[in-house]
Homo-oligomer: A and B are copies of this chain.
Amino acid sequence: MKLNHIVEVQQFRKKELLEEVFSLTERMERLDETGDSSLLLSHTPRKKILATLFYEPSTRTRLSFESAMKRLGGEIISTEDAPHFSSMVKGETLEDTIRVVASFSDLIVLRHYEEGSAKRASLVSPVPIINAGDGPGQHPTQALLDLYTIKKELGRINNLKVGLLGDLLYSRTIHSLVWLLANQENIEFYFISPEPLRIPSDITVYLREKDIFFKENCNLYDISSILDVLYVTRLQKERFRNKEAYNAVVGSYVVDKEILLSLKPDTKILHPLPRTSELPSDIDLDPRAVYFKQAENGLYIRMALLKMILE
């Protein structure tokens, strides 16, 4: 199947497309081992060039895309501080910048602080756009790597009880992953969050419409033993009224050794990173803690997507 712009996770509704992405991702993961040079980008005669255009820093995501492109034998031009494009002149539009960068590159990875920016970019760009986060909007490659990690670790992306822990209101990662999972079969969601950071109602409405089981306001201790996946995100202090409000609840959202005791042997703990106190480092060696593998999987997902888009 042909991929062009990747703007939102809803483009991956079709199971065949997901399967194709995941199958290529697995081959990318074993590239060093198999030495399969057909996975690399072909020259034509020059190498393909990816531009990373980041309006806010996200070094982790940028390096992941850049490493993916380089592993494929492609090239990078990079800007970590894209506001400089318009620093000499207030008000160059995103559209103008995209048109210019598109003339220098074969594909643009865009990170921007405004929801909808990736969509706007895709409407004017003569080269494919990949959304690497558009403010409170989406970050589709993160959601795909999350789902791929579940598939790889558990062998399936259906018949799952999934706990989502932390800031469920503002985490675009959570929203996109819930949407992707909701399109698989027999998924149950358990939402675990402080009251002011509950999953948004547009998502619960969507789940009800699709007749998908979910439970809000879960207590981590009550449900930990039934979960197949525990997806953890940070609680940001800034989201709370004051320090007292934060301190009052934060303890209930820590995946500590006690929680580990209650999890099933094959439950997988995911986290988009960076983490803070919600995942104490003394659980890192537990085989159920797969968040560093998850970060690595981001590399392979992006290699697969770049290959599919560019060839």
Whether a CB of chain B sits under 8 angstroms from the CB of A115 is no
Instruction: Report Cα–Cα, A90/B242, bound state, in Å.
Output: 17
Judging by beta carbons under 8 Å apart, are B63 and A79 in contact? yes
* A46 in contact with B73 given A274-B85, A296-B103 (CB within 8 Å): yes
Q: Which residues of A contact B (CB under 8 A)?
A: 31-32, 35-37, 40, 44-47, 49, 51, 57-60, 63-64, 66-67, 70-73, 75-82, 84-93, 95-97, 99-101, 103-105, 234, 236, 273-276, 281, 292, 295-296, 299
Which listed residue, B45, B66, B92, B234, touches A275 by the CB 8 Å rule? B92
A-B contact pairs, 17 of them (CB 8 A): A36-B45, A37-B45, A40-B45, A59-B81, A59-B82, A63-B79, A66-B77, A67-B77, A67-B105, A80-B84, A86-B274, A88-B274, A92-B276, A95-B281, A96-B273, A99-B292, A100-B295
Please name all residues of chain B whose beta carbon is closer than 8 Å to the beta carbon of A96 when the two chains form the complex.
273-275, 281
Contact indicator A59/B44 (Cβ below 8 Å): no
Which one of B47, B273, B295 lies within 8 Å of A70 (CB-CB)?
B47
Nearest 10 CB-CB pairings of A with B: A103-B296, A92-B274, A67-B104, A57-B84, A37-B45, A70-B75, A66-B77, A59-B84, A100-B295, A46-B71
